Amino acid sequence: MSIIKRNNFSFTDVVSLIESPDKIYLSDAAKSKVLKSCNLVKKLSNEKEAIYGINTGFGPLCTKKISVGEIELLQENLLLSHAVGVGEPIDPFISKIMLLCKIISLSKGYSGIRLEIIERLIYFLQNDLTPVVPKQGSVGASGDLAPLSHLFLPLIGMGYFWKKKEKVPADLILKEHKLEAFKLQAKEGLALINGTQFILAHAIQGLSKLNYIFDLADLAAAMTLEGFQGSIAPFKKELHDLRPYNGTRKVADRMLMLLKNSENTKSHINCERVQDPYSIRCIPQVHGASRNALNHLKELVQIEINSVTDNPIILEDGSAISGGNFHGQPLALAIDYLTVAASEIGNISDRRIYLLLEGLHGLPAMLCEKPGLNSGLMVTQYTTAALVSENKSMCFPVSSDSIPTGMGQEDHVSMGSISGRKLLQVINNIEKIIALELLNASQALEFRRPNNFSPMIESNLSLIRKHVKKLESDRLLNHDIEKMIELVKNKLIKVNLDL
């Protein structure tokens, strides 16, 4: 697969390429554009006129002219001085996403970088050479400077690679692979560390996880509805055609399919209950609103993957434009929005768990045979309450903040890097909340036998029971919870309805 011929890579394409890096290569057309751009930079570097980032300093030092003889040292110093990240390293998979997204951006042919450097980055991905990148230090404008500096230090023989779970100096790994460290040329350091790839990589990782989690949340909700013996009337197409949000209609359709041919659902059609609580009745509206936010970020991420986000940009006519494509605001706002939307999925899930434990409509209190002697699943909701509260504390929109940097030259920043990291923290908690809803819903379903449930729910209940047995009396639940979380994190529960 040529990663440059196309201009419409989605986040799923990026994940797929990282999982199959042998498919990454540059088309001849892309190579030609890269070479042309590189030659233009060489020409510009010899101009007497000051051209930002090519023969000048950076940021507030943009008026300091650099001599031709010092240009290579300038680019190396840029990486060394900007590699100031702190904190624990990011997940190596996110580092790989950053690498691939930077390759795509550089290969557009507007960054003035040598073809050999892009090919070296492809070599890194294809040979599982993943740079170590600290989590903290980017303000999300002027590019993700600190994390990108760490990501590309190995190009000049500095920094670290991962070797399994160990950090190994990059120069040692380069020697193992018989690779020479690069001496950076004009514009190359700036092209590497200017860009939004840290923010973008976190957004891609978040989308990849939430694509599954939102589908799983619908399944968990359907299982809870079966256990609670709720009504399926609120999911009728006619209702949602009157308020036709895409997310709402999709969730309503999914709920009907998840509950299709359920003997249990049909068994109480003529019961005296008028309506269900909001956490069941309003599943399409709440889950659907979160899906709308997810779809919005998907659109923006696709644009960002296929964009050029460094600075300055080298146009085909040989001119260099100093602009602000590195500013993370377009992603930061939407990531904060999705963080709130994702948090709500956990919030409503906790409410459904609470409903199942109350002892209503034929279910025993705490979902156990002898409540009092046994606490059953009572305290699992304490855990979800804690996780939901923790998520709420992370819903402050970081993109509403800005602290000037660079002696006032960079006087408005996006903080999108923090938005991205926070999104993944919220998602990590939601995985646990949904796992606990599935645990409670599975237990509730046991009390609705001999009724049969829909085929999808029966299939997943059978899968869950292979790992977690029905709770007959109090036992150490920690092992059950860990098993459920493992099923969720490894995407082992079937959720695809081809909608």
* Catalytic residue selected from 25, 52, 245, 354: 52
CA distance 247 to 258: 16
Query: Which phi and psi (to 5°) does residue 166 adopt?
Result: -105, 145
CA distance 240 to 254: 13
Q: Which of 480, 250, 215 is nearest to 345 (CA)?
A: 215
CA distance 99 to 147: 11
CA distance 75 to 53: 9
For tokens 């399409």, the residue is 284
Concerning whether 52 is annotated as a catalytic residue, the answer is yes
CA distance 208 to 423: 12
3-state secondary structure of 494: coil
Q: CA-based diameter of the chain, in Å?
A: 86
Q: Which of 276, 492, 451, 478 is nearest to 377 (CA)?
A: 478
Residue 372: alpha-carbon gap to chain centroid: 43
Q: Which residues have C-beta within 8 Å of that of residue 49, sequence separation ≥ 6?
A: none
Give the chain's count of helices (H) and strands (E).
Answer: 19, 6
HSE (side-chain half, CA atoms, 13 Å) at 328 = 35
CB 68 within 8 A of CB 44: no
State the CB neighbour count (10 A cutoff) for residue 425: 13
**Element spanning 314, H or E:** strand 313-314
Q: Which of 399, 437, 428 is nearest to 297 (CA)?
A: 399
Q: Which of 435, 285, 275 is nearest to 353 (CA)?
A: 435
Two structure tokens written together for 192: 């590497």
Rg (CA), the chain: 26
Concatenated DSSP letters for 50-63? --TTTSB--GGGTT
For tokens 């855990």, the residue is 383
CB 359 within 8 A of CB 462: no
> Cis omega (within 30 of 0) on the bond before 404?
no
**Element spanning 333, H or E:** helix 329-357
Q: Please list the active-site residues.
A: 52
